[in-house]
Amino acid sequence: MARRRQWSSGGVAAAAVLGLLSVLCAGHPAPGGFPLQPRFYEHTCPQMQAIVGAIVARAHAEDPRMAASLLRLHFHDCFVQGCDASVLLDADGSGRFVTEKRSNPNRDSLRGFEVIDEIKAAVEHACPRVVSCADIVAVAARDSVVLTGGPGWEVPLGRRDSLTASLSGSNNLIPAPNDSLPTIIGKFANQGLDVVDLVALSGGHTIGDSRCVSFRQRLYGQNNNGQVDRTLNPAYAAELRGRCPRSDGDQNLFALDPASQFRFDTSTTTTSSP
């Protein structure tokens, strides 16, 4: 079975995951170049965060996976052009851009769009043409972490939404499951983040699932030899192989942290040998 490892500074590390997401969320700042601030909608849409929280809570109650999906949606947005909601855009027929939804990291994988749409509709009803989708995605990610037992944080607000998307940015900037460590470090460095930030943000994987296609190479030829990656716990590798065949089953889901799949805690699971 996989070992569980406690972070030496668990609460601090968990909070760092959240704070760093806020750092990433510069996006397109408020009009006039004013810095983002948690009370941006205090007078123009004071009920915004309550609306987001209520809808996220309902979505999470209906589908416990949704919390991890909304957190991931936020991360995939922030790593491409900043936290600007570009990941939500569909192609408009003008040929100006190709939707990021079709990128390798997002296609048949990224979820939660319908929850954001529901939130946006409710917020528009309460405060027409005031709240950006980028801010909704950021608050929904925070609320998802809180709902699963993680710490909360103040979300800086006032982002403006992008009018374009970047398929190439989504393909090339978001860390991939089969990237080497130097490549991942480089992608974080492109965002102004260092190795400590990388480790902290990786802690977000304490909730959610992984698809078979994302780690199959470790089961059937990490080193181009057709063998299981030797750093994997043999018993756990055999368990994974049972439901992740060499071909087919791409969408089969596996808990990232089997012991607490839906709990944002300070334990992670490692598949290395004892």
Residues contributing to the annotated binding site: 77, 80, 82, 84, 86, 100, 175, 205-206, 257, 265
Q: Give the CA distances from residue 143 to residues 25, 99, 209, in Å, rounded to whole numbers and listed in that order.
A: 16, 26, 19
**Cα–Cα distance between 100 and 97 in angstroms, integer?**
9
Catalytic (active site) residue 60 = no
Element holding 217 (H helix, E strand): helix 212-219
Which residues, in sequence order, are CB contacts of 46 under 8 Å at separation 6+? none
Annotated binding site for substrate: 175
Cα→Cα distances 89→24, 100, 109, 132, 269, Å: 19, 7, 16, 13, 34
Helix (H) or strand (E) holding 59: helix 48-62
Distance separating alpha carbons of residues 163 and 133, to the nearest angstrom: 12
DSSP letter at 248?
S
Q: Which residues contact 211 (CB under 8 A, 6 or more apart)?
A: 109, 250, 251, 252, 253, 254
Q: What is the DSSP letter of 17?
A: H
Residue 6, H or E segment = strand 3-6
Catalytic residue among 28, 60, 76, 125: 76
Binding site for Ca(2+): what residues are annotated?
77, 80, 82, 84, 86, 100, 206, 257, 265
What count of residues does the chain have? 274
Binding-site residues for heme b, in ranges, read 205
Catalytic residues: 76
